[in-house]
Structure 1
Amino acid sequence: MVTAPLGLPGVYHRVKRGETLWRISKMYNVELDEVARINRITDTTSIEVGQQIFIPNRQRPQSLSPDYFSDDFIWPLKGRIVSLFGQTFNNTINKGINIEPRGATSVVAARSGKVVFYAENFGSYGKTLIIEHGDGFSTVYARNAEILVRPGDIVQRGASIAKVGSAGRDKSRYLHFEIRKGHIPQNPYFYLPQ
């Protein structure tokens, strides 16, 4: 264990390709907010390969089995981000990200879980579904042309769950995707692979 300039015991972690701050905090069993605060990281999506991150009150984790991160979040759709978390979009603050499809329009489950909500017309969200992941996290998939699952269905990460569409008077096609902890929207960039 080392002592940080702040006088706290802990270890330094060198960021590797594909790691997110959420994944690093999960590896050491430390709250994401605490790691960000101690390292004075205001934008947790902007960590870089090779950057040293101080992990307070921890020792190096034991070697992890390859399936330790097998249920991390994955991107629900390949495409271009047209609106970021927190941006104003169509006169409302975006509680997720909006992804315009590139090629295929199949939406996949970002993580394994149980479908707990389905609506044909959920206001400006249009056809919407919500998957709970059993650890306080849930994901929201909105603006679908077609939903392929129903409440009660158990879905695996990467399974096809919907087709991208549009909603209301806005005819542009994109997926509105949210990650929530409890009922509080989180910035998806904290959790999705970079």
Structure 2
Amino acid sequence: MMKRAVVLAGCVILAGCVPGGRRAAPGPAPAPAPAAAPAPQPAATADEAAQLPAPAPAWETRPVNADARTVPSQRYVVRKGDTLRGIADRTGSASEAIARANGMTPPFTVRIGQRLSIPGGRYHLVRPGQTGIAIARAYALPWARIVAANALVEPYILRAGQRVLIPVDAARPASAAERAAAFTLDVDTILTGGEPAVAANQPPVRPVASPARVLPATAAVVAPAALPGRFVWPVDGRIVRRFGHGATGERSDGVKIAVPLGTPVRAVADGTVAYVGDGIAALGGLVIVKHGGGWTSVYGHASQLSVRRGQAVTKGQEIALSGETGYADRPELHFELRRGRTPVDPTTQLPRR
């Protein structure tokens, strides 16, 4: 029988417990010291950074207002000086939607007198730093539905000024709080909707080498380009839950490996950390690493997290300690491999034991 989800206290602490342990009762407050000019602080070392709270993800720091504009279907005749982007701005539709509706291909050139079909619908204007997750939460819709409606593809990074079509949902909750509560976070949503929108002509940032450097939550991080090569096992233990449908019919997108509490969890290949936190209740302490070739590895139920989002990691590097957080039945590691958006049985990609 599954345990109830562990309530994770406060922010996730890098190389700290997930959830936090019991704290000592505070003593009497000391007398205030005389005010003094703050001294310059040196950059944090890796050890010091391990004691700092992990920054909140961009979908928490940049919430979205559900202010989509309803645009009627219409016809538009191209004028002198028009561009596809300018036509989208004038009509309130999305340039990508107009291109699809009219069978246009790159470089999406329009000509004077051309008659274009402008697809109607509800369109949300993406602001700098907004994520697909925050947009989906604002409208109480699965992000996967918005991805499908807009034919979004890898690397799923939005741009400021882009418009995305919001599918109509008659059962949509009325208030912002109800819409946020109706939204469910999962691994696929983090992978396809977790990166913040970038400004025009601003590429994603490169990964950093150490947790001592903290990237802003609103900085989009580029995934590695090189293929990951041969994967290694994240831990040495016994598989207690296999990939696919179990006896009860419930599907597992990965495997669960029983290991002693506090076992080092290691990256299965070189990559970039895409997520560190506890936003998916069932998985508890969670690290997601993106690799080249569209591969992603997922490590759940951790008791301690040793890396930050945007950090470059190498094959075999410790990224967490095993635990029994989330809906774990015992001290264990939940481990997944994905190719694109598709979960893959890890045992078919890992060395035989």
TM-score between the two structures when normalised by the length of structure 2: 0.34
State the one-letter code of the partner of 1:156.
T
* Unaligned runs of at least 5 residues, structure 2: 1-226
1:101 matched to 2:259: yes
1:167 equivalent in alignment to 2:325: yes
My pick for the range that moved more, 168-177 or 114-123, is 168-177
Task: Please tell me whether the aligned partners of residues 96 and 185 of structure 1 are also in contact (alpha carbons under 8 angstroms).
Answer: yes
> What is the correspondence of 1:27-38 to structure 2 with a 5 Å cutoff?
none
Distance in 2 separating the partners of 1:170 and 1:144? 10
Aligned CA distance change for structure 1 residues 134 and 93 (closer, same or farther; 3 Å): same
Give the corresponding residue for 2:78.
none
Which structure dedicates a bigger proportion of its chain to strand?
1
* Partner Cα distance (1:130, 1:170) in 2: 18
Match for 1:145: what amino acid? S
Give deviations 1:66-100, integer Å, cap 9, x for gaps: xxx98310000000100110142887311101001
Q: Shift of the alpha carbon at 1:113?
A: 0.3
Q: Give distance in 1, aligned partners of 2:322 and 2:342.
A: 24
Does 2:242 correspond to 1:84? yes
Q: Find the residue that maps to 1:189 and give its secondary structure.
A: helix
Q: Quickly say closer, same or farther: Cα 1:170–1:179, change in 2 above 3 A.
A: closer
CA distance in structure 1 between the aligned counterparts of 2:270 and 2:276, rounded to whole angstroms? 17
Q: Give the match's secondary structure for 1:135.
A: helix
Aligned twin of 1:25: none
Alpha-carbon offset, residue 117 of structure 1: 1.0
Between Structure 1 and Structure 2, whose CA radius of gyration is higher?
2
Shift of the alpha carbon at 1:164?
A: 0.4
Determine if the alignment matches structure 1 residue 75 to structure 2 residue 239: no
Provide the C-alpha distance between the structure 1 equivalents of 2:248 and 2:349, rounded to a whole number of angstroms.
25
Q: Mark the CA change 1:81 to 1:135 in structure 2 (over 3 Å): closer, same or farther.
A: same
**Equivalent of 1:150 in 293, 297, 308:** 308
In structure 1, runs of 5+ residues without a counterpart are 1-68
Give percent identity, aligned residues only.
33
Superposed CA deviations along residues 7-54 of structure 1, whole A, max 9, x for unmatched, are xxxxxxxxxxxxxxxxxxxxxxxxxxxxxxxxxxxxxxxxxxxxxxxx
- Match for residue 140 of structure 1 among 290, 298, 304: 298
Instruction: State the Cα deviation string for residues 139-158 of structure 1 (Å, max 9, x = none).
Output: 00011001100111000000
Matched, 1:190 2:325: no
Q: What CA distance in whole angstroms lies between the structure 2 residues aligned with 1:89 and 1:142? A: 22
Letter in 1 for 2:275: F
Query: Could you state the TM-score of these two structures normalised by the residue count of structure 1?
Result: 0.60
Counterparts of 2:324 and 2:293, CA distance in 1: 30
Q: Identify the residue that residue 128 of structure 1 maps to in structure 2.
A: 286
User: Which moved further from structure 2: 119-128 or 73-82?
Assistant: 119-128
Aligned length: 126
Query: Which of 98, 103, 118 does residue 276 from structure 2 map onto?
Result: 118
